[in-house]
Structure formats: C-alpha cells, structure tokens
C-alpha cells in the first residue's frame, strides 16, 4: 500500500549501513555549509509544516528539530502534552490521522515503543522517533558524526558504554557497529540489553566485523576505550524509582580514575541532560569531554534526517 512505502525512522536498525553513512555524511555536509555562512539557497519545504508531538520534556531534540525545519523553510509546530487533545480527549489513532493529514512529517517523543509503531501504522507522512523507551536514533546519528569529526575515521575504534540498558545505548550500539566501531557495554548485574537488540547487534557485527562485548564490569568496558559514553541513570518517567536505580548504579560513575585506563586521548560523550551521579564534574567539563560539540551536532543530524525522509522522500544520497 501507499502507506507502507513511506520511510520512517524508528530505530537505527531501520537503516542499512550505507543509509546510516549517508545520513552522517549529509549531516557533515550541511554543517560545513552552515558554518561557512552559506545558508541553503533553496527552501524545499517552504510553506510546509513539521509536527513535533512531544509527551516528554526536551531541550536538544526540540531545538534541533525546529532549527532543521527552519533550515529547509518549513514551519515546526510544537505539540506538547498540554497543548493538544491526545491522551485526554482523543486517542493516538485519531490524533495520528489528523496530524498527518495536515503536515509533512511528525517527530514524536512518546513513552512506549508501541506508540511509535502505532504512529507509523496510521500516519500518511514520515514518523521520526524523537526518543521512546527503547530507541533514540537521532542521538545515535549525531554521535556518529561527532566521533567521525573527532577521530577522522570510525573504523577500529572502541566505544565503551557504562550505564543503563535502554533507548540511547540500543541505537548507539547498532550505529557504532555499523560504522565499524567495536562496542563494550557495561551494565549492572541484573540490567541487560534486550535480546532483540543483542540479536540485531550480532547480525550487524557479522556484517561489519566490529565486535560487541557485554559485561557487568565498568573497568572491562573502559580498558583501552577511545570513547566512554554514559547517560542518566534515571530516565524520564522513572523518577519514582530514583533511589533504587541510583543504588544499583553506584559503581558506574565515570571518573578520571576510570578514564586513566582508557586509551590516551580518550573522549567522553553524553547525550545530555546530565546529572552528577553518572559522571564527575572534572570529566564532564574536562579536556576529554566533547559533550557540547556533540549536543550541537544534533542540529545537523536532524537536518540530514529531514532531508532524506521529507525533502527526498526516502531516498538517501550516496
């Protein structure tokens, strides 16, 4: 059907390796253009709207998406949970049908992965997952751009994830493996990457020959790592479990001493927002940290995604 031909972006696993590479290089291309003061000359989405259907807070995802929409001449329409009828007077099906009938794309930040799937099922325009409980593809694309810029290349690097096993690492691991980066994931004892994500990771690993290692020891992950990454230990929606989660992650804070076993010149990354539980100030604000250039790169990732899915209607430039 026509609806099933639409390209959505729910997770990095929706993308082939060449498609991911295309997004990363288009993001770099647009960044260069913008930095050199050359705004895009054509506004291919002038007169169009892009909906931002957000049921959770956001700084980076909202700002980058609104900026990316403006870059192509589109108007971004922020629809927060207190703005529209969804969840109070109207169901997701009706909301999806209506929003997609009047816009050119929907960036959606919802709780459940199944909500994103429902949006994809009924939307007549591309759906971009702007973070759900299981995936965060925009962050992973941004992180690949940041790593490529920092190291010049991605192949053969080692990325250590020390933290929770949910949205950010799920897409980051798949993206890194696709780009030839080996990944070592350290999580607390009874916190594990889902079997589905492990299976996808193993498939990608066979394709690109980058390895994935799962451990419960932060030191195993950090040893000789080129990049150490973490995220909050208490994700949005988990506030009631704060005490329990912080106790579980008490040995998982990124410190300079942990960094001392990483590769010389290692870099620290974090999707933000950041709390002190997961990383000390001296690492977060120190010479190894690239968190602010990383945050800025969210803009170029959003530009690349809108270009591929909306401007080019699902064609990825080689």
Q: Which residues are catalytic?
A: 271
Residues in contact with ligand NVA by CB under 6 A are 131, 166-168, 231-232, 235-236, 271
Q: State how far the Cα of 241 lies from the Cα of 142, in Å rounded to an integer.
A: 29
Residue 59 touches ligand CP, criterion: CB under 6 A: yes
Which two three-digit tokens encode residue 249? 């992650």
Pick the stretch among 18-26, 56-64, 72-80, 82-90 that binds ligand CP (CB under 6 A): 56-64
- Cβ distance 130 to 52 under 8 Å? yes
Q: Choosing among ligand CP, ligand NVA, none, which partner's interface includes residue 11 (Cβ < 5 to 8 Å by kind)?
A: none
Residue 129 touches ligand CP, criterion: CB under 6 A: no
Contact mark string toward ligand CP, 233..272, x via CB under 6 A: --------------------------------------xx
- 195-208 vs 167-178: helix axis angle to the nearest 10? 10
Q: Choosing among ligand NVA, ligand CP, none, which partner's interface includes residue 167 (Cβ < 5 to 8 Å by kind)?
A: ligand NVA
Owner of token pair 């690109």: 208
Q: Choosing among ligand CP, ligand NVA, none, which partner's interface includes residue 59 (Cβ < 5 to 8 Å by kind)?
A: ligand CP
Nearest residue (CB) to ligand NVA, 96 versus 232:
232
Nearest residue (CB) to ligand CP, 21 versus 60:
60
Kindly state the smallest distance separating residue 295's Cβ from ligand CP, in Å. 7
Q: How many CB atoms lie within 10 A of CB 135?
A: 26
- Cβ distance 195 to 205 under 8 Å? no
For ligand CP, which residue of 26, 30, 48, 60 counts as binding (CB under 6 A)? 60
Pick the stretch among 52-60, 169-177, 246-254, 260-268 that binds ligand CP (CB under 6 A): 52-60
Q: How would you write 190-247 as a 3-class SS string?
A: CCCCCHHHHHHHHHHHHHHCCCEEEECCHHHHHCCCCEEEECCCCCCCCHHHHHHHHH
Interface contacts to ligand CP, rule CB under 6 A: 58-61, 131, 139, 271-273
């Amino acid at each position: 059907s026509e609806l099933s031909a639409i390209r959505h972006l729910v997770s990095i696993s929706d993308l082939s390796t060449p498609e991911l590479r295309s997004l990363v290089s288009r993001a770099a291309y647009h960044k260069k253009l913008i930095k050199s003061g050359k705004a895009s000359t054509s506004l291919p989405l002038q007169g169009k709207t892009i909906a931002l259907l957000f049921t959770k807070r956001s700084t980076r995802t909202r700002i980058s998406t609104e900026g990316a929409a403006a870059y192509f001449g589109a108007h971004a329409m922020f629809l927060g949970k207190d703005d529209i009828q969804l969840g109070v007077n109207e169901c997701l099906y009706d909301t999806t049908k209506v929003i997609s009938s009047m816009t050119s794309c929907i960036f959606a930040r919802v709780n459940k992965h199944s909500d994103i799937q429902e949006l994809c099922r009924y939307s007549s325009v591309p759906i971009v997952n702007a973070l759900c409980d299981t995936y965060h593809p925009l962050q992973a694309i941004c992180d690949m751009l940041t790593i490529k810029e920092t190291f010049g290349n991605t192949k053969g690097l080692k990325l250590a994830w020390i933290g929770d096993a949910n949205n950010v690492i799920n897409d980051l691991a798949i993206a890194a493996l696709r780009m030839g980066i080996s990944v070592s994931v350290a999580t607390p004892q009874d916190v594990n990457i889902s079997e589905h994500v492990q299976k996808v990771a193993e498939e990608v690993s066979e394709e690109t020959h980058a390895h994935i290692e799962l451990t419960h020891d932060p030191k195993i992950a950090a040893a000789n790592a080129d990049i150490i990454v973490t995220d909050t230990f208490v994700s949005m929606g988990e506030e009631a479990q704060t005490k329990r989660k912080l106790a579980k992650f008490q040995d998982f804070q990124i410190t300079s001493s942990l960094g001392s076993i990483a590769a010389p010149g290692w870099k620290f990354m974090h999707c933000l927002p950041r709390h002190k539980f997961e990383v000390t100030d001296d690492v977060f604000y120190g010479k190894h940290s690239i968190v602010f250039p990383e945050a800025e790169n969210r803009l170029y990732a959003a530009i690349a995604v809108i270009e591929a899915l909306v401007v080019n209607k699902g064609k990825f430039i080689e």
